[in-house]
Each structure stands twice: as C-alpha cells, then as structure tokens.
Amino acid sequence: MKQRQNSKAHQNKVTGEAIWQWRHLAILDAKQFGISSREVDWLLMEVAGLDALALHLGSYRQLDQIPLKRPLEQLTQLWQEHLYALLPLQYVAGSLPWRDLTVQVNPSVLIPRPETEFLIDLIEILIQKQPDLAQGIWVDLGTGSGAIAIALARLLQNAQIFASDISEAAIQLANQNITAYNLTNRITLLQGSWWDPFTTREITGMLSNPPYIPTQMIEELEIQVKNHEPHLALDGGQDGLRDIRYLIESAPIYLCSGGVWLIELMINQSRIVAELLEKQGSYENIEIYQDFNGIERYVLARRR
C-alpha cells in the first residue's frame, strides 16, 4: 500500500481495523447529513496517508500500525464539528495538498485556495522570459500558512524570501510549514502590518493574496468560510480594496526598478486596480490575468 509521507513525526498510531471501523461510521454519518462519502476518504488520505485505492479495497484493514496526524478521538470530535457546524474539512484534517506541497492549516489561517496556485505559475512564466528575476529578494505579504512563500522558495532557488503577516498565530503556523520543508534558512518570517517590519529595499518581487472581500459581503459568504476562516484574512474594508490600495501606494518604496508587483483579487476588481496602478505613476507593464474559470483575478505590474 502506498503511504504518502507527511511532514510531522507521527506519534499517533492505530490499527487498520480501527480506521476501518471509523470510516464505516463516518460514511454512515455522511449519508445521514447528505454529504459525499468521498469527504471521509479525502480526510483519511490526508490524516492517515492512505490512498484512494486502499480505502476502496479495504486493504489497509490488516495493518498493525497506521500513523495518524491527529489522535483518532480528536479526529472524531473535529468530524462532528464538520457535520454539525460546517467546520471546513481541511481544518479537520489539519492539512491539505496545495501545488506539490502538503500545507498544514488551522482556523487561524485562510485555507490556501487552488486559484492562488496560479500566482506561482505566473512567476514561473515570468522568470522563463526574464531569468535575472529569479534571484534577489522576493516577499510574500500576508503569508497566512506560508504556502506562497514556500512555493516561491522552491521555485526561486537562488532568491531570498521574506514572508510577513500581521497575525502572530499565522506566523507560528507558517513557521511550522517552513520548518517542515527545511526552508528556515531561505525564508525569513516577519510579524507586522504589510511593509512595516521590512527594513530591506531593492526588492525584486512582491506577491500578495490580501484580504479583498468588501465588509458587507462577508455575511453572504458560505457558512464554512464566514464562521470558520479568519475575517482578518477576508475583510478588505468597505469596497474590498483597502489593503490593495495601500500595497499600490507603498510598494514603490520597496521594489527595485523593474521589480514585480503581483496580487490576487476577486471578480470585478482587476480593472479598478489596474487603473489605480496606472494613476499611481510608478508602475508600467500592467497586466491582468484570468483564473481557470476565465475570471480576471490577478494583476501584475512592474516598478518603473
């Protein structure tokens, strides 16, 4: 049976039989709550490192010891929170796949979204066209779990990465993720508001997935998001652009000439942001990119 390695040493070991029983009951729960039994298998893949085929065939049932990322009792309790309070499954598991990474998460950080992976693809395309950008200092502002910073460090092997967040709990978790990938010597974590903790200038590139949801829309979000993900990661002020405006105004002080400014945003914001960048006067080559649903979600600009 294939076992996916995960970053933490496993203290919690259970028999295959115990997992088999757990899965059986959880699938009954899922049916009762009208949710797909695939959620149960996704969870067990993440927490027990089992693969889909093994779960389907039950071939793990004979195993004496299966390491778990969480004690089974805790998993049961979080699973109940998923059923009754719609706690996102990624928080139940404590991790999720993102690009080629396994990213640890908890409710103090936003669950990294598939859309955000594209920020890294954009940088990959950019450095193919302009290899000299693959070095120097790159920053991930509002790092949350640290996913962007880790992916950047792996992509830009010769660059130095800084990642900041205002949330102390996010910095702690990002540190866990960075440590799990042995990148503590490549990524410097800073706690504070946007650029405040930075003394460095002449930065080659800035990436950010800032909070961009207008305050009044937070109430309309799905319960999973509204009740469980940190509002600090979501709420972008009255029109959602509070932090983006700040990043437009402040980044020219920190970026080198030709430096990259790249952010993710939500539907209907990209044109406004492109105009704001244009008006600011310090940027050129302003480009808008679409996500895999054809929605304009990323704005890339270069410091003049």
Select from 26-34, 159-167, 248-256, 287-295 the region that touches ligand SAM (CB under 6 A): 159-167
If one asks whether residue 188 binds ligand SAM (CB under 6 A), the answer comes out as no
Query: By CB under 6 A, is residue 240 in contact with ligand SAM?
Result: no
d(CA 137, CA 163): 11
Q: Contact between 233 and ligand SAM (CB under 6 A)?
A: yes
CB 119 → ligand SAM: shortest distance, Å? 8
CB 143 within 8 A of CB 233: no
Q: Please, what is the minimum distance in Å from the beta carbon of residue 195 to ligand SAM? A: 9
Query: Any contact of residue 232 with ligand SAM (CB under 6 A)?
Result: yes
- 93-122: contacts with ligand SAM (CB under 6 A): 109-110, 112, 116
Q: Measured at the alpha carbon of residue 83, what is the angle toward residues 82 and 89, in degrees to the nearest 5?
A: 30
Shortest distance in whole angstroms from residue 105 CB to ligand SAM: 9
**Interaction mask 125-154, ligand SAM, x per CB under 6 A:** -----------------xxxx-xx------
Instruction: For the CB of residue 114, give the shortest distance to ligand SAM in the complex, in Å.
Output: 11
Which one among 6, 167, 269, 270 touches ligand SAM, defined by CB under 6 A? 167
Please tell me whether residue 296 binds ligand SAM under the rule CB under 6 A: no
Task: Verify binding: residue 178, ligand SAM, rule CB under 6 A.
Answer: no
Site string for ligand SAM, 55-94 (x = CB under 6 A): ----------------------------------------
Does residue number 263 form part of the binding site for ligand SAM (CB under 6 A)? no
Paired tokens of 156: 């830009």
Residue 49 touches ligand SAM, criterion: CB under 6 A: no
* 194 near ligand SAM, judged by CB under 6 A: yes
In the block, tokens 């796949």 appear at 97
CA distance 226 to 234: 9
CB of 206 to ligand SAM, least distance (A): 12
Binding site for ligand SAM (CB under 6 A): 109-110, 112, 116, 142-145, 147-148, 164-167, 170, 193-194, 209-211, 232-233
